[in-house]
Structure 1
Amino acid sequence: MPQSTTPAATTSDESTTRTALVVLGHHRADSLSAHTARRAAARLTAAGYTVDFLDLHAEGFDPRMTVADQPDWNNRDKRYSPATEAQMGRVLAAEVVVVVFPVYWQSVPALVKGWIDTVWNYGFAYGRSKPRLAGKRVLWLGLAGATANDEIIPGMQQLLEAQLSDGLAYYCGFADSRVGLLPDAEEQPQTIDAEGNLVIGEAISGDARTAHYAAFDARAEGFVDDLLAAGLVNA
């Protein structure tokens, strides 16, 4: 993907009406996922969005389901726990949601899965004739250790799209949901040989490493730009 161009910033009056939520689903602040989430937030800010940055681990989000947050199929207006209601408010306030996470077993990590299970709950995200989240747009940025030419990548893309776009965002009324899969996240390339053994290559360093991650950042920012551009076309 060629180097992306930063979307033109809006006027100050327009920027107050554009809101975005960036969700980081990683336990380390120094991770590549955290770096990518911060780049996505900066990209949205440059495009005129007011960004709410949600670091699930840093904010102490507990992904375990509780009785207080269990759906009540007989009451779609159930009040959930105060912590979950606060999370729901942050999702509701955002026109654009960007979720950044490492791909674990071709899915999202437990931290993100628990956030989805608890916050994207019955009566809020789904279960109404007119979904409260209708019209919003979401980008799922998944960082994968596999190399771009690994045979697993197309299937991984399909699985994530089925789970996150078809099985979740569409069901909740989102106008646009897309998965930005980012392979080559590891410094040491990882492949599987014919016998199923993990083969780890030599770590990249120096100028090669700098170029590698510059290209990685450009791909991630390109996914953000594409989502925003699609929103302008459909506005």
Structure 2
Amino acid sequence: MKVLIIYCHPSDNSFTARVKDEFIKGLVAVGHQYTLVDLYQENFNETFSEQEYTREAFYNDEMSISEDVKAYHKLINEADILTFIYPVFWTEAPAKLVGWFQRVWTYGFAYGNHAAMKQLDKALFLVTMGGDLNELVRQEQLEAMKTVMLEDRINERAKEKEMIVFDRMSRDYPNREANFERFLKMAYQIGNNL
């Protein structure tokens, strides 16, 4: 099984980084291959250029695509599972990841009559947040997040799609340390059970 991980967090010293590390350990333990794309480490340019906008707005697949985007297309088509690991900032993914979708989900690759993107076996979102998941559910924000990621960005591009949220990681939660251990074991198991 080939797993492509798109990781997006500005700090190497974060709970999100630890989730990524444990998920990878779980993958390796069962012999899965993985490729890690760290959008901050790569200094990914999330800015949607005017040329990219024009290409998408006019569905012009004859206009060129930048080399970095082509490289992501290749990685996606080599993978069986696409995993996104990131924190929630104000009920949204970090700007780099939002920009990644804007730049990489191109006409002729992710959509259009002759889209070249293969259908993946699974798309998995491992999402960390400081707040309480129950509060997101109560305010219907979790469903909004799932709609954006699972139904819009992934849609039929994967046979299965799932979002798992690791919550209550803010420094003001009294059981934060207990959550650390529980969630890190969970991240390992998720990788181990793919």
Q: Does 1:216 align with 2:186?
A: no
* Structure 1 residues 77 and 128, CA gap change in structure 2 (3 angstroms): farther
Pairwise CA distance, 1:136 = 3.3
The partner residue of 2:165 within 177, 181, 191 is: 181
State the one-letter code of the partner of 2:48. M
* Structure-1 residue corresponding to 2:45: 62
Could you give the per-residue CA deviations for residues 57-94 of structure 1, whole angstroms, max 9, x where no partner exists?
01110111113433343433543011111122122211
* Equivalent pairs, count: 191
- CA distance in 2: counterparts of 1:124 and 1:50, whole angstroms: 24
TM-score scaled by length of structure 1: 0.73
- CA distance in 2: counterparts of 1:156 and 1:223, whole angstroms: 24
Give the conservation status (yes or no) of the 8 Å contact 1:68–1:81.
no
Give the conservation status (yes or no) of the 8 Å contact 1:139–1:224.
no
Q: Does 1:26 align with 2:6?
A: no
Pairwise CA distance, 1:131 = 5.3
State, as a whole percentage, how many aligned pairs show the same letter: 20
Q: Which residues of structure 2 form unaligned runs of 5+? A: none
Q: Does 1:40 align with 2:23?
A: yes
TM-score scaled by length of structure 2: 0.87
- CA distance in 1: counterparts of 2:25 and 2:113, whole angstroms: 34
State the one-letter code of the partner of 2:171. E
The partner residue of 1:169 within 133, 138, 154 is: 154
Pairwise CA distance, 1:52 = 0.5
* Structure 1 residues 78 and 42, CA gap change in structure 2 (3 angstroms): farther
- CA distance in 2: counterparts of 1:135 and 1:54, whole angstroms: 17
CA RMSD of aligned residues (A): 2.2
Give the conservation status (yes or no) of the 8 Å contact 1:180–1:220.
no
Give the conservation status (yes or no) of the 8 Å contact 1:25–1:100.
yes
Q: Higher helix share goes to which structure? A: 2
* Structure-2 residue corresponding to 1:3: none
Is the radius of gyration larger for structure 1 or structure 2?
1
Q: Which residues of structure 1 form unaligned runs of 5+? A: 1-17, 190-202, 229-235
- CA distance in 2: counterparts of 1:130 and 1:108, whole angstroms: 25
* Structure-2 residue corresponding to 1:116: 101
* Structure-1 residue corresponding to 2:125: 140
Higher relative contact order (CA 8 A, sep 6+): 2
- CA distance in 2: counterparts of 1:135 and 1:101, whole angstroms: 20
